[in-house]
Amino acid sequence: MSFQNHNDRREAADAAKKAMLEKFKNKATPAPIDPQEAAERVKAAQEKEDKRVEAEKKRRERVELERLERKIAAEAAAKAERERIAREAKAERERLAREAADAAKRRKKEAEAAEMKRYLDEARRDLAAAALRKRR
């Protein structure tokens, strides 16, 4: 870039800066605001802020209630799950106890049947021995 071209660009930038500053300095000052209108604007702004604060307070309360509801629901679900597990465990214990009782009854019956067979076999042997002695 040539030196002359550089100076031209710098002068153009300086001129633009001056124009912007002049424009800013000469900018019309806003019309004076009526004190009554200013008071109304302040009052409206305050009401708007109060409404916003109230809405935020309600939102926070709603969020807190929802959080508590979720917590209660989770606790209820956990309690229901614990109760279900306890019921299943109880049913399993009862089933095992019934099976053990049935097995004990079955063993007792088998033992009684074996004993009865032994007595019958003994009685047959005794009868056979007595018959043999009688024949002799």
* pLDDT tens profile 67-80: 999 999 999 999 99
Alpha helices in the chain (DSSP H): 3-25, 35-135
Confidence of residue 7 (pLDDT cuts 50, 70, 90): confident
Name the DSSP letter for residue 26.
T
Tokens at 19, concatenated: 């124009």
Distance CA 3, CA 10 (A): 11
Q: What is the pLDDT of residue 29?
A: 66
Query: Chain-wide mean pLDDT for the chain?
Result: 91
Is the pTM higher than 0.75? no
Rg of the Cα atoms in the chain = 53
